[in-house]
Amino acid sequence: MPNNIMGCDTAAIQLNPVIASSFNAHYYEPIPSSRYLFRSDEFWRGLDRWKDIDAELFLNHLWQEKNAITSVAALGDLIKNRISTAFLRDIEEGHQLAPMSIRLTPYVLSLIDWDNPFLDPLRRQFLPLASEKLVDHPMLKLDPMGEQNDSPAPGLTHRYPDRVLFLATNVCPVYCRYCTRSYAVGLDTDVVTKQKINAPGERWEPAFRYIEANSSVEDVVISGGDAYRLKARQITEIGERLLDIPHVRRMRFATKGLAVLPMKVQSDHDWTDAISRLSDRARKMGKSIAIHTHFNHPNEITAITAKALGILYERGVEVRNQAVILRGVNNSKQAMHRLNECLAYLNVRPYYCFQGDMIQGVETLRTSICDSIELEKATRGLIAGHNTPHFIVDLPGGGGKRDIHSYDYYDKQLGVAVYRAPAVKKDKLFLYCDPLHALSPESQALWINPESRVQLLDDVLKSAK
């Protein structure tokens, strides 16, 4: 592991003086609009450690990666003079109970408002607090979608007829508390030993062979982990290999990177070139390649993001967004609307907005089905339909993605919705449970008691049929 407590080692990083100019030459600067003046101050200088870091260094992805914070101790060292010892202890204790390890870029760390960290939407996404921990619903799991069950090759999930999910790596530029793959992504924590999926470059061949042998597979989602942690040559290797398979028509590389390390698009020429060359080649073949990214809150968007997304747009790389509805982060009409209008302005297509997965250990971030439906109602119609995401629940047990409001049955009192997914698993019923904190004490008690829980589930399934 890199020594992340080290300060700014300016000598170690060779800055490429043509970085900015070579990309900027073609980039069309949109006319600034007062509604979309993204923050362009040197916000990182607000943290003591980085007060002398100039823009050139801060905008270098190697510097960002080298100075990423990967432990609570290193985090404490960075922010101890900005927060109380009680708050730091709260983070330490929260981390001991958390299924995800810590990793944060200087970019994200310096966008957090350390004068008000409790409410900060970025802090809430990445840093757990023991004091906000809520009791887990008894139906929660670490792999709620059962990805391991639908897996014909290491790191490959084949659930839908025409597309597969390929987990090419198990690491990300940051770790999110609510990760859908808490069973596998990141380092082991005190409470979770991660299942091994692919480390970068390992064991991809069986997945490629499976895709080659199955002509129904037209669409490949390359995820992980995160495509930002794949090297340029690995992006090229995966992309070229898949483009060479005649029946593969569409491909998406999934990364949260644009939201947490946007400068990479500008400073890692090899990576950006690899993606854009693939995108060009795909287009010439009548195929398509896109990036699926993961912005959750407008505070993640700065002038650096606008530049990165401008470069990708100018180079013809399509970018779509998959957000997660997170309580206290983006479950308000204002935050969700602002997120979607900023993404639309930056030519990112808001694609999905997911109901929080039924993952252990992060109940404070989940919303109920009825709250998410209200959020969808409040949001739809404010901007164009093609810029309004689908509000989706990824069904526990592997039923795939459904519109949140398309349940067959919903008991709001007990906080349980029943869905069918006839195109994916015929005749099977799938349950999504609201978090206990959204329910009355009586309903909570019915779930917590194992006997009444069995009865309750039985009754719900009967009513749904």
Residues with active-site annotation = 159-160, 163, 172, 176, 179, 181, 357, 394, 401
Given a contact cutoff of 8 angstroms between Cβ atoms, the answer to whether 99 and 191 are in contact is yes
∠ CA 79-83-85 to the nearest 5 degrees? 105
Nearest distance in Å: CB 190, ligand SF4: 17
User: Residue 337 interacts with ligand SF4 (CB under 6 A)?
Assistant: no
Closest CB to ligand PLP among 160 and 228?
160
d(CA 417, CA 464): 9
Partner that binds at residue 176, options ligand SF4, ligand PLP, none, CB closer than 5 to 8 Å by kind: ligand SF4
User: Residue 326 interacts with ligand SF4 (CB under 6 A)?
Assistant: no
User: Residue 353 interacts with ligand SF4 (CB under 6 A)?
Assistant: no
d(CA 444, CA 438): 9
Q: Which of 47, 140, 153, 165 binds ligand PLP (CB under 6 A)?
A: 165
The sheet carrying 156-160 orders its strands as 156-160, 163-167, 219-223, 250-254, 288-293, 318-324, 348-354, 390-395, 400-403
Write the burial class of residue 93 (CB in 10 Å: 0-12 exposed, 13-18 middle, 19+ buried): middle
Three-state DSSP class for residue 349: strand
User: Residue 157 interacts with ligand PLP (CB under 6 A)?
Assistant: yes
Which residue reads 């990364």 in tokens?
Answer: 255
Nearest distance in Å: CB 422, ligand PLP: 15
b/e burial code for range 174-195 (CB count within 10 A of at least 16 → b): bbbbbbbbbbbbbbebeebebe
Q: Which of 95, 181, 194, 297 binds ligand SF4 (CB under 6 A)?
A: 181
CA distances from 155 to 196, 346, 376 (A): 9, 32, 33
User: Residue 179 interacts with ligand SF4 (CB under 6 A)?
Assistant: yes
- Scan residues 199-258 and list those touching ligand SF4 (CB under 6 A): 224-226, 256
Strand partners, 429: 420
- Scan residues 291-310 and list those touching ligand SF4 (CB under 6 A): 294
290 φ, ψ (degrees, to nearest 5): -135, 160
Q: Which of 102, 111, 112, 185 binds ligand SF4 (CB under 6 A)?
A: 185
Closest CB to ligand SF4 among 185 and 393?
185
d(CA 330, CA 155): 31
User: Residue 182 interacts with ligand PLP (CB under 6 A)?
Assistant: no
Nearest distance in Å: CB 294, ligand SF4: 6
Nearest distance in Å: CB 259, ligand SF4: 9
> Which residues are near ligand SF4 by CB under 6 A?
172, 175-176, 179, 181, 185, 224-226, 256, 294
> Which residues are near ligand PLP by CB under 6 A?
157, 159-160, 163, 165, 221, 401
